[in-house]
């Protein structure tokens, strides 16, 4: 080895030892005839000092620049009293260099290797190898690894087998566009890159694998709005002979180990669980941030005979729901919140402020004392509180107040009750109506099983069939999604037919799965956790790009490699492809 230990191995216990180190020159300063630099390796930083008496080392040190790669032999010495650096784990010592070898110089850097860089993202991605040298980025890589190892340990211990599924495959419907790869051997035919291993993991259950997992790469050709990546990773699993609670328990164990091993944090299991219908009623969102209260309340009964016509009408035909927020809020802020609910489809936002002299609002004059008493009791409204209301059909009022809730939390930034709040949301509707296509479409994926007691509604009321679909939400972010699947092909075919597939199309697109289900498929279910998203949350990053070693920009470009890029005419010829230059 070019070195016999790492920088962070050194401390007061090593004083007097001869050591051999190698790494990068992190910072350098000349001080009254003595040359100092920080040597950085993956483990950390140690200060190196070169004295003029040690001639070779001193001269070599003087010639070093930032990010030069060096190896050195030296002696560990205690730093002179008063010069210790408590911020560094090696801050009590330094290495007095006896010999320094330059292994490789570096060009001047496009940005400094430190946590706060002012380079834009494009530059950081172009020089990702430098970007990843920054301690924070290295921290992301280390945590990602720690999480992967914890996941593998827990799943191995509980009987899961890691199985790889192909990257060159056939389209798997997860609702996005497929990336296609042309086949040279079968001109005119294409592989699809997997949107997820969904069908193949189900087939592994038919194969008798019983417990499968994979850190799976998924590729979806979507418009990269918000924080999406064309390829991302999932902790993907599938289990046979299980019910929802069994899948949830595995995920809870896994996350408990992840939090413990990666962050040293104990999280409590089992996680809270709420039905989709209830979560929509309570939070107006299927991914609420449950670190905070701000529960939505149904005020319909209070306003049944209201003198405020908007509420009375809504109470008769729909619902009136409300939310309490602490004041003070300026009129401009209240107006802004009103705009928010309008963009979410609500007609408007009514409000009442609980002032010392009593409730104040443009609508108060229409309300009877019983109504105000009812509100005061329901919300336990106190001086300074604001009550906000949306009226109308439940499917409009609930998400409007859900959006309001989210904005209030973002604006007020209250102290969370707990730093990590998990919530299972269960029993999502099986189907959603797709007005564009004029048929039902899957709410999550087409393989989810309906609840047994809802089966008969498939014929009479498909829109209200509740399913075995569940999501796991952490601090308002959906981090996992899965379901118990249809293991009977007749049920699967029936659901596909509601989604507008004719038998022949079913066989073309889903034949792979449908055929397998006919050969003794066991009951099964599974889940996939967004690995990148989980790491981003654990590291306090908003964007998953930060925690992926080599991500693409929001435009789907990799500035490091230049992908996507043109190919040679010969390559296209081999594939039998002619480009349409008008595109």
Closest distance of CB 198 from ligand ASP, Å: 4
196 binds ligand ASP (CB under 6 A): yes
Nearer to ligand ASP, 191 or 213 (CB): 213
In the set 483, 486, 489, 492, which binds ligand ASP (CB under 6 A)? 483
479 binds ligand ASP (CB under 6 A): no
Element (H, E) at 140: helix 135-157
Q: Which of 209, 349, 344, 220 is nearest to 284 (CA)?
A: 344
202 binds ligand ASP (CB under 6 A): no
Q: Which of residues 435-464 bind ligand ASP (CB under 6 A)?
A: 445
Nearer to ligand ASP, 367 or 529 (CB): 529
Closest distance of CB 222 from ligand ASP, Å: 13
Nearer to ligand ASP, 233 or 481 (CB): 481
482 binds ligand ASP (CB under 6 A): yes
381 vs 87: CA distance, rounded Å? 48
Closest distance of CB 480 from ligand ASP, Å: 8
- Scanning 31-39, 110-118, 309-317, 475-483 for contacts with ligand ASP by CB under 6 A, the matching segment is 475-483
256 binds ligand ASP (CB under 6 A): no
- Scanning 16-24, 61-69, 139-147, 476-484 for contacts with ligand ASP by CB under 6 A, the matching segment is 476-484
240 binds ligand ASP (CB under 6 A): no
222 binds ligand ASP (CB under 6 A): no
In 21-72, alpha helices (H)? 55-62
Closest distance of CB 438 from ligand ASP, Å: 25
Q: Report the chain's terminal Cα–Cα distance, integer Å.
A: 54
Contact letters for ligand ASP, residues 159-178 (x by CB under 6 A): ---------------x----
In the set 282, 300, 481, 489, which binds ligand ASP (CB under 6 A)? 481
193 binds ligand ASP (CB under 6 A): no
Helix axes 503-517, 198-206, angle to 10 degrees: 40
240 vs 246: CA distance, rounded Å? 10
- Scanning 113-121, 162-170, 478-486, 575-583 for contacts with ligand ASP by CB under 6 A, the matching segment is 478-486
Closest distance of CB 484 from ligand ASP, Å: 10
How many residues in the shown chain lie near ligand ASP by CB under 6 A?
A: 10
Closest distance of CB 213 from ligand ASP, Å: 11
384 vs 355: CA distance, rounded Å? 6
54 vs 394: CA distance, rounded Å? 80
Q: Which of residues 517-546 bind ligand ASP (CB under 6 A)?
A: 526-528
Map 475-488 to HEC letters.
CCEEEEEEEEECCC
539 vs 545: CA distance, rounded Å? 12
Nearer to ligand ASP, 283 or 447 (CB): 447
Closest distance of CB 171 from ligand ASP, Å: 14
Closest distance of CB 178 from ligand ASP, Å: 14
Nearer to ligand ASP, 169 or 481 (CB): 481
Are 320 and 300 in contact, with CB atoms under 8 Å apart? yes
Are 256 and 263 in contact, with CB atoms under 8 Å apart? no
Closest distance of CB 529 from ligand ASP, Å: 9
26 vs 8: CA distance, rounded Å? 14
467 binds ligand ASP (CB under 6 A): no
335 vs 340: CA distance, rounded Å? 9
47 binds ligand ASP (CB under 6 A): no
Nearer to ligand ASP, 315 or 528 (CB): 528
The total of other beta-carbon atoms located within 10 Å of residue 254's CB is 24
Closest distance of CB 241 from ligand ASP, Å: 17
391 vs 186: CA distance, rounded Å? 59
In the set 47, 165, 198, 282, which binds ligand ASP (CB under 6 A)? 198
486 binds ligand ASP (CB under 6 A): no
- Which structure tokens are listed for 332? 């401009």
CA dihedral defined by 425, 427, 430, 434, rounded to 10 degrees? -40
Q: Which of 217, 165, 212, 162 is nearest to 195 (CA)?
A: 217
Map 239-281 to HEC letters.
EECCCHHHHHHHHHHHHHHHHHHHHCCCCCCCCEEEEHHHHHH
Closest distance of CB 463 from ligand ASP, Å: 21
Helix axes 135-157, 244-258, angle to 10 degrees: 140
- Which structure tokens are listed for 184? 């040279």
- Whether the upstream peptide bond of residue 548 has omega within 30° of 0, thus cis, is no
446 vs 487: CA distance, rounded Å? 12
Nearer to ligand ASP, 47 or 445 (CB): 445
Q: Which residues bind ligand ASP (CB under 6 A)?
A: 174, 196, 198, 445, 481-483, 526-528
């Amino acid at each position: 080895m070019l070195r016999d230990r790492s920088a962070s191995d050194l401390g007061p216990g090593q004083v007097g030892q001869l050591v051999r180190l190698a790494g990068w020159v992190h910072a350098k300063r000349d001080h009254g005839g003595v040359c100092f630099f920080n040597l950085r390796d993956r483990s950390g930083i140690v200060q190196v000092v070169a004295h003029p008496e040690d001639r070779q080392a001193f001269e070599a040190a003087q010639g070093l620049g930032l990010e030069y790669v060096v190896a050195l032999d030296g002696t560990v010495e205690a730093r002179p009293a008063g010069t210790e650096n408590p911020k560094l784990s090696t801050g009590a010592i330094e290495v007095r260099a006896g010999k320094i070898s330059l292994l490789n110089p570096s060009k001047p850097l496009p940005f400094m290797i430190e946590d706060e860089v002012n380079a834009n993202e494009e530059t950081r991605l172009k020089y990702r190898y430098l970007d990843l040298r920054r301690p924070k980025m290295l921290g992301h890589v280390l945590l990602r690894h720690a999480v992967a190892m914890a996941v593998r340990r827990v799943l191995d211990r509980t009987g899961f087998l890691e199985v790889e599924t192909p990257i060159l495959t056939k389209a798997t419907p997860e609702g996005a566009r497929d990336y296609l790869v042309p086949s040279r051997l079968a001109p005119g035919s294409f592989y699809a890159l997997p949107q997820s291993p969904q069908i193949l993991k189900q087939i592994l259950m038919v194969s008798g694998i019983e417990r499968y997992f994979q850190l799976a790469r998924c590729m979806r050709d979507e418009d990269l709005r918000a924080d999406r990546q064309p390829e991302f990773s999932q902790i993907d699993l599938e289990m046979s002979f299980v019910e929802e609670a069994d899948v949830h328990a595995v995920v809870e164990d896994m996350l408990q180990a992840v939090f413990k091993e990666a962050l040293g944090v104990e999280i409590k299991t089992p996680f809270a669980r709420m039905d989709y219908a209830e979560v929509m009623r309570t939070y107006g969102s299927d991914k609420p941030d449950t670190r905070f209260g701000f529960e939505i309340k149904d005020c319909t009964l209070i306003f049944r005979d209201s003198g405020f016509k908007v509420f009375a009408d809504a109470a008769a035909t729909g619902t009136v729901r409300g939310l309490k927020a602490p004041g003070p809020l300026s009129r401009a802020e209240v107006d802004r919140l009103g705009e928010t609910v309008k963009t979410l489809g609500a007609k408007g936002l009514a409000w009442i402020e609980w002032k010392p002299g009593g409730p104040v609002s443009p609508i108060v004059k229409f309300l009877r004392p019983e109504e105000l008493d009812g509100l005061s009791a329901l919300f336990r409204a106190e001086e300074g509180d604001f009550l906000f209301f949306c009226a109308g059909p439940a499917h409009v009022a609930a998400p409007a107040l859900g959006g309001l809730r989210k904005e209030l939390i973002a604006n007020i930034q209250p102290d969370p009750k707990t730093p990590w709040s998990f919530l299972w949301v269960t029993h999502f509707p099986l189907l959603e109506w797709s007005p564009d296509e004029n048929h039902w479409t899957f709410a999550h994926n087409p393989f989810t099983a309906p609840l047994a007691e809802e089966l008969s509604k498939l014929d009479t009321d498909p829109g209200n069939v509740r399913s075995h679909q569940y999501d796991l939400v952490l601090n308002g972010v959906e981090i996992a999604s899965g379901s118990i699947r249809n293991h009977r092909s007749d049920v699967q075919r029936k659901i596909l037919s509601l989604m507008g597939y004719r038998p022949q199309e079913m066989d073309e697109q889903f034949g792979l799965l449908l055929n397998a289900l006919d050969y003794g498929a066991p009951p099964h279910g599974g889940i996939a956790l967004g690995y990148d998203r989980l790491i981003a949350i654990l590291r306090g990053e908003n964007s998953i790009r930060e925690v992926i070693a080599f991500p693409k920009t929001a435009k789907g470009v990799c500035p490091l490699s230049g992908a996507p890029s043109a190919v040679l005419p010969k390559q296209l010829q081999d594939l039998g492809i002619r480009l349409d230059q008008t595109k």
